[in-house]
Structure formats: structure tokens, C-alpha cells
Amino acid sequence: MFNMISLLINHIPKIVNKTTKLDKQTISKCYGSLPRLTPQEVTRILRSNEFTKEFNGPNSIKYYDTNQLSSNNPIEDTRSEARCKLTNGHLLGIFDGHGGGACAQVISKRLPAYIAGCLLPTDSLKKILGVQKHPAKLRDHLLEFYNDNTDFVSNISKLYNESFLSFLKELAEKSGESDFQMEKALQNSFLSLDRDLSDEALRKLSRSDKARTLSVAMSGCVAVVSHIDGPHLHVAGAGDCRAVLGVYAENEGWSAKMMTVEHNSDNREEVERIWSEHPAIEKQTVIRMERLLGQLAPLRAFGDFRYKWNKEIMSNTVVPYYGESAIPPNYYTPPYLTAKPDVVYHRLTPKDKFLILATDGLWDFISPLEAVRLVGEHMSGKVTLSPLTLSRNNIKLSEINQMLLQRTKGLKKKPLDENAATHLLRNALGGTEYGIDHSKISQFLTLSDKIVRMFRDDITITVVYMDSEFLRHCPS
């Protein structure tokens, strides 16, 4: 036991590094002999949370694949996908929780509705509020969710509905303001929901409801959300989740276009932004050990109000539940943290083949370019998993010949998984320069709950495929 603990301690600096890549020898040294899973057992685990949604008709999105693999128990990552009913856009988001999964769960279910509300003109909002009197039905009036199988307990759900109704009324009263700007709308939705989390946690509620709202406020989550409307792609990110666009050019091959800005201590502009918002005397304490106040790695996040509330609120509201240690050291001039996202815009072209959204659990193992190449290879190989079908009756022989050539080429890259998110998971955990190492994946999947978090994080991935033909005929 002593030798195992010593080995673990020796490897901790390596484990917490953002570029961690542990091989099976390291895992074996730290944990000894692990049970060996069969290939079928590995596949069952990797595919247990996968989901695919296909879209028909004219649309810039053909379909998306998504999947999750937990490290924490229960998982702290969440995801959501929805269609805006009153506009033409689709929302797809990834949310990485910390300090528990409460905040990420709440944000993933509520943020799309706040965004959908911000996208509507004030006249439409007033009309909706005049017709739809029941707060609980407002979200369903605005959005169609996919693969959403959970809901809040009744008391909390009622509280959230009341907050959302107040938010929509607030939006509707802002008539006559400047022209619509997508960046401001997305930022407003993030900040307004974060504000509501704070207000809800500070309300006078029953003890059980107070405990729930405080658990959301004291935990936190980072987020990346994409809004795709025809050829228009906007990505809003707060924290260190990433969105990467897979771009293919005939003469250049695959390239990765970053659609997010990471908010952590590696981002010099972000560090300087935080320094500028606090007295110079705090420069040595506001960012310590590459973390906010020496504690929090992401420098923007939802929740985490222990870095936002003033000391009076912390003393009166938080300390009675969480103790004095809930107040961070060197806590002088809050707020230190914001949920305001950076928003990146890109006009989609036929060269833009797919968008990968993922939590940092994936990026700890593979780079954005590696991920793009893996999904690109998966696109080529996936055609071999289903019978050859002709796209139309009057197809030319030359086109059929081209399809057969592509199919022959794809046979060399035939993947094990039809779902691209699962394909990324398998390669992240078991990929080597010689191919997939089954024993390596087996070891990652059989680490005990006590130590697995030291070797890998929760991983959540969504891959969104674009319709090149639709984009080709979009007006410029």
C-alpha cells in the first residue's frame, strides 16, 4: 500500500497538467493489476451514452452525434441540444461542472431558453407574454429539445419558471433600443441566467429548497454553446470547453479552426483583464498557482458565487451552511469571476464539414487538429458501415464510379463505431501511433472511483455535421 501511495504522489504533478497523456505502464504502476475487459465490454461501455439526431429538409445541419463518459460519480458534465421554434436556429451546448454537478445540470436545461428569448424582437416577446399565461409552458413554446429526459423537482421548477418569466418581461420592456446584435444577445443570456442563480440562492425559501439553490450557486460550470442558423455560426464560450471547426480543402487536407477562447491562466489577455479590475496591491494574490485566488482554474464560469458575492453575503448566507473556509483567502474586492462569454462568429462555407464541441476531458488527451483528422477519417470510413445507396434515380455513371472509389478508400479506414463522438472517445483513451490499443482503453475504464479522477476527467463530446450542398447554395 505504501509503495502504491508513493507512486501516486510522484505522478500527481504530471496528472494535473493540462496536457496529461498517461500510458498503460503508468496506470499499472499506480494501481497494480487491473481486470481486463473484453472488446465487447469496452464497446458496451463506450456506447452506453451515445445519441444521434438526423435532420430532414433544407438545413445547414445534416445530423449530430453526441456521447459522454464519466469519471466523477455522478458525472459533472452535461449537454443539451434544441431547435428554436420561433426562429430558424439550432442550439447545441456542452457544460463542464466543478464542485459537483448541480450548476452544470441547471445551466444546461435553462440557458437555451434564455438564449431563445434574447433572439426574439420585443414585439414577438410581448405577443408571447400576452398569449402564454402559464410560466411552465414558456420554455416549450420557445424550444424543441432533443434527448432531454430529466426535469427539476416541482418547487425548484416553479422558482425557475418565475425567474424566466421575469426575465422575458424585462426583455420585452427594452423596446426602442439599438439594433439587434447577436454577440450582445448571447452575452445577455449568459449574464442574466447567472444573475438569476444568485437571486434564487439569496431568496427566503424552505430549508430544503435553500439547500438546493445554494448547492447550485456554490458549485460552478464552464460552458460552450453554438447557435447555427443557415450559414451563420456563433459560438459563445465561458471557461475552458472548446469548439473546433473541421475544415477540408482539396489541396490542403484537414485543418482545425478554433471557435473558442480559453479563459484560464494560459491566456495572458484574460489574466491582464482580471488584474485591471482589482487594485494593484492584489496582483500577487488574485492569480496564484495559475488559479483564481489560488483555487479556481477557469477564469470565467457560471455559479461559483464564492468568488462573486460580497463578504457580507458570504458571512450571512454561505458561512452558516459551508463554514468559514467557504470564503477564499485574500478576498478583498469581489467579484473576481464573471460568466460573460466571448462570442466568435464564422460564416459557414462548403469547406466547413463539422463542428466539435467538447469538455477539457477530451482535450487532455488529443489536440484539436488530431480530433478533426479523426472525425474526417471517420467520415470517409463510415460510408462502409451501411449498404451503398444511390442519392437519386438519374445519377450518372461517372458519379457512381466516384462513389465506389470513395467507398474503396473508406474500407481502409473502416471505424468500429458509427457514432463520431464514440470514435473520438475510443481514440482518445486507446489511440497510439500504431492504432487502437485495447488493453490501454480497458485499463482506463477499470480504474476505481477512488483514483480514476486523477487519470482522466469526465468527457462530453458533440459532433455537428454540416450540409455542404445546402451551404453551397446559400446566398453570399
For 352-377, how does the pLDDT look when each residue is reduced to its tens digit (9 = 90+)? Answer: 999 999 999 999 999 999 999 999 99
What average pLDDT does the segment 456-472 reach? 96
Q: Which residues contact 454 (CB under 8 A, 6 or more apart)?
A: 8, 11, 12, 15, 30
Q: Look up the domain containing 387 and give its range.
A: 2-263+337-472
Residue 252 domain flag = yes
**How does residue 389 score in pLDDT terms, banded at 50, 70 and 90?**
low
**Per-residue pLDDT at 83:** 97
pLDDT of residue 2: 30
**What pLDDT score does 387 carry?**
60
Instruction: Return the percentage of the chain with pLDDT > 90, whole number.
Output: 76
What is the pLDDT at residue 406? 65
Tell whether the model's pLDDT for residue 156 goes beyond 90: yes
Report yes or no on 26 lying in a domain: yes
User: Can you give the CATH number for the domain in which 154 is found?
Assistant: 3.60.40.10
Q: Is 455's pLDDT higher than 60?
A: yes
pLDDT at 410 over 70: no
Record the pTM: 0.88
The whole-number pLDDT of residue 391 equals 59
* Average of per-residue pLDDT across 80-89: 94
Task: Tell me the mean pLDDT in the region 233-249.
Answer: 98
Is 304 contained in some domain? Answer: no
Q: Per the domain annotation, does 277 fall within a domain?
A: no
What pLDDT is recorded for position 14?
31
**Number of folded domains in the chain?**
1
Evaluate whether residue 137 is within a structural domain.
yes
Q: What's the pLDDT score for residue 18?
A: 40
Average pLDDT over the chain, rounded to an integer: 89
299 is a domain residue: no
Of 402 and 75, which is predicted with more confidence? Answer: 75
The predicted structure's pLDDT at residue 30: 56
pLDDT at 381: 77
In a domain, 296, yes or no: no
Higher pLDDT, 31 or 472: 472
Looking at 29-43, 232-246, 362-376, which range is the least confident one?
29-43
Q: How confident is the model at residue 17 (pLDDT cuts 50, 70, 90)?
A: very low
Tell me what the mean pLDDT of segment 194-204 comes to.
Answer: 97
Looking at the predicted structure, is the pLDDT value of residue 153 above 90?
A: no
In a domain, residue 36? The reply is yes
Percent of the chain with pLDDT over 70: 87
pLDDT class for 261, splitting at 50, 70, 90?
very high
Three cell numbers at 25? 505502464
Task: Give yes or no for residue 15 having a pLDDT over 50.
Answer: no
* Amino acid letter, residue 74: P
Tell me how long the chain is. Answer: 476
- Burial of 134 (C-beta count, 10 Å sphere; 0-12/13-18/19+): exposed
